Amino acid sequence: MNWSTAEIGALARAVSHAPSVHDTRPWLIEPRGDVVNLYERREVSLPRHDPTGRDRVISCGAALVNLELAVRALGWGVETTLFPQGGRAELVARVHAAGRAELTEEIATRYAAMFRRHSYRHPFRLRRLPVERLRSLSRAVGEDGTQARVIDHRTESADLAELLGYAARVLQDDAAYQRELTAWTAEPADRSSLPWAGLVRRNTRVPDEITFTARLAREGLLAVLTPDDTRRDHLHAGAAMQRIWLDAVAGGLVASVVTQPLHLPEVRAGLIERLGLEGYPQLLIRAGHPAESLSRPLPAPVSLEELR
């Protein structure tokens, strides 16, 4: 088979709705025959925010989930090969349409959620998510050794507040980082505050440690961990992040992701030591109920009938 023009458009639209570092969309898809190749665009470089390209590959992992969902929504089974042998260095995944397959309710639900997903960078409703709900979201990670570990709001908020507060102050004082942030993102009209600020700017309000601890204790937080720290692990982390996020959206929740502090080696090492993490923390996900109705309309999903 060969992808039709309409199918290629559906695949491209799905991938374009994946989250990415600074909304750079550092990927490229290449439909060919019955496969779709997903490439990392290494020319998209953020030397201060993402010096090793880790967030870029995490972004590609999120795009891969959307790509697989779109292929399944078109009525095909999926066989995915990560970093295929003999391929270009930038080739991170090859998705093969492996015969006709029935669309399951789980796939349809996640597919619809990808068009409603957005970064919610505001305080959540005061009612914190129950631990059982967070654990349910954590089970969406997959079976590749990646974990989503619930942050214990009772015993771990203080250590997390100290580390994130330290990271915020370092990033605020980094002039080169702030220039890069300004170049890639729009300056918000209001002065955002932690922990719900996604990006730490010079005017981001960093609360005192007691206040920060109290705020984090009201958050529903997950740490995505991988057994190693390779590009494959980063890709798995991005895929896990997106599955969790889509399941949260499908369940009426909102979420956002934090990666900035983890690019400081001392902060990452501190998280591993103080929280007793069994793996490499790649990102933090905060999830909860929106404090109020969303102020902007969300894009309408592509109906499955349109794709057939």
How many separate domains does the chain show?
2
Give the sign of the dihedral formed by CA 273, CA 276, CA 278, CA 279. Answer: negative
Domain that holds residue 20: 5-118+297-307
Q: What is the mean pLDDT of residues 57-74?
A: 98
Q: Indicate if 46 and 138 belong to the same structural domain.
A: no
Q: Indicate if 301 and 284 belong to the same structural domain.
A: no
Q: What is the mean pLDDT of residues 179-195?
A: 80
Higher pLDDT, 142 or 273: 273
Lowest mean pLDDT among 122-126, 213-217, 231-235: 122-126
> Would you say residue 189 has pLDDT above 70?
no
Q: Is 123 within a domain?
A: no
Q: Indicate if 184 and 39 belong to the same structural domain.
A: no
Tell me the pLDDT of the chain averaged across its residues. Answer: 92
Q: Indicate if 207 and 275 belong to the same structural domain.
A: yes
What span, in angstroms and rounded, lies between the C-alpha atoms of 46 and 307? 36
pLDDT recorded at residue 267: 98
Q: Indicate if 107 and 167 belong to the same structural domain.
A: no
Centroid of chain to Cα 211: 27
DSSP 93: E
Q: Tokens in use for 110? A: 């996640």
- According to DSSP, the residues that pair with 290 across neighbouring strands are 124
pLDDT recorded at residue 161: 98
> Would you say residue 190 has pLDDT above 60?
no
- According to DSSP, the residues that pair with 100 across neighbouring strands are 76
Q: Tokens in use for 6? A: 């309409």
- According to DSSP, the residues that pair with 157 across neighbouring strands are none
Looking up residue 52, the CATH number of its domain turns out to be 3.40.109.30
Q: Indicate if 91 and 154 belong to the same structural domain.
A: no
DSSP codes of every residue in 241-301: HHHHHHHHHHTT-EEEEE-GGGGSHHHHHHHHHHHT-SSEEEEEEEEE-BSS--SSPPPPP
For residue 178, what are the contacts with CB-CB under 8 A and spacing of at least 6? 171, 172, 201, 202
Q: Indicate if 10 and 106 belong to the same structural domain.
A: yes
pLDDT recorded at residue 297: 47
Q: Are 1 and 96 contacting, i.e. CB atoms less than 8 angstroms apart?
A: no
Looking up residue 254, the CATH number of its domain turns out to be 3.40.109.10
pLDDT recorded at residue 296: 47
Q: Where are the alpha helices (DSSP H) in the chain?
A: 5-16, 54-73, 105-114, 131-138, 157-172, 175-184, 209-217, 231-250, 265-275, 304-307
Q: What is the mean pLDDT of residues 199-224?
A: 95
What span, in angstroms and rounded, lies between the C-alpha atoms of 165 and 200? 10
pLDDT recorded at residue 306: 46
Q: Tokens in use for 100? A: 């006709």
Candidates 160, 155, 149; CA nearest to 268 is 160
Q: Indicate if 25 and 106 belong to the same structural domain.
A: yes
Pairing of strands 76-82, 220-226: unpaired
> Would you say residue 199 has pLDDT above 70?
yes
Q: What is the mean pLDDT of residues 271-278?
A: 97
Q: Indicate if 264 and 147 belong to the same structural domain.
A: yes
Q: Indicate if 156 and 273 belong to the same structural domain.
A: yes
What is the per-residue pLDDT across 112-146, written as a single tens digit (0 to 9) for each?
999 999 999 999 998 889 999 999 999 999 878 99
Centroid of chain to Cα 37: 21
Q: Tokens in use for 182? A: 């300004």
pLDDT recorded at residue 307: 44
Q: What is the mean pLDDT of residues 171-180?
A: 96
Q: Is 125 within a domain?
A: no
Q: Is 126 within a domain?
A: no
Residue whose tokens read 């409603």:
116
What span, in angstroms and rounded, lies between the C-alpha atoms of 291 and 229? 35
| Cα-trace Rg, the chain | 19
> Would you say residue 188 has pLDDT above 70?
no
What is the per-residue pLDDT across 27-57, written as a single tens digit (0 to 9) for each?
999 999 999 999 999 999 999 999 999 999 9
pTM summary value: 0.93
What span, in angstroms and rounded, lies between the C-alpha atoms of 122 and 109? 25
Q: Tokens in use for 33? A: 């025959």
pLDDT recorded at residue 136: 97
Candidates 227, 180, 206; CA nearest to 21 is 180
